Amino acid sequence: MAVTGAGGRKQIKNAVVPESDSELEKRNQGLEKELKESKEREEEMRRQLHSTWERLRVAEEAEERLCSQLGELEAEAVYQARDYHDRIVSLMEQLSHAQSLLQEVIPPSST
């Protein structure tokens, strides 16, 4: 509900309307300052987001390299375990053969 006041200005009932152009200009400057600060905060947040994204990309690449290296190490460990097992089996066979040769050469003493 608008009412026309002195000087042709419209005033809204129960609303606070600035009385002078200097107050409007002051309010406008305050709003422009807030907008500028808001844009600066937004730009800073964009820089931080970009930086975080870059760190994440680097971390993901490092994780992929580590997983690949871990897979290679696990495969190498399996090969080494198989080699050690084969070597143990071979040594056990040699020991068993040596023991049977000794038993043939030195018969058990009968007491």
**Whole-angstrom distance, CA of residue 98 vs CA of residue 92:** 10
- 36: containing domain: 18-91
Number of domains comprising the chain? 1
Residue 47 in domain = yes
**Residue 92: how many CB atoms within 10 A of its CB?**
10
User: Which of the four pLDDT bands, split at 50, 70 and 90, describes residue 91?
Assistant: very high
What are the tens digits of pLDDT across the range 21-68?
899 999 999 999 999 999 999 999 999 999 999 999 999 999 999 999
Q: Which residue has the higher pLDDT, 84 or 106?
A: 84
Residue 32 in domain = yes
Residues 10 and 2 sit within 8 Å (Cβ to Cβ): yes
Residue 58 in domain = yes
Residue 99 in domain = no
Residue 85 in domain = yes
Residue with token string 């050690």 = 84
SS3 for 13?
coil
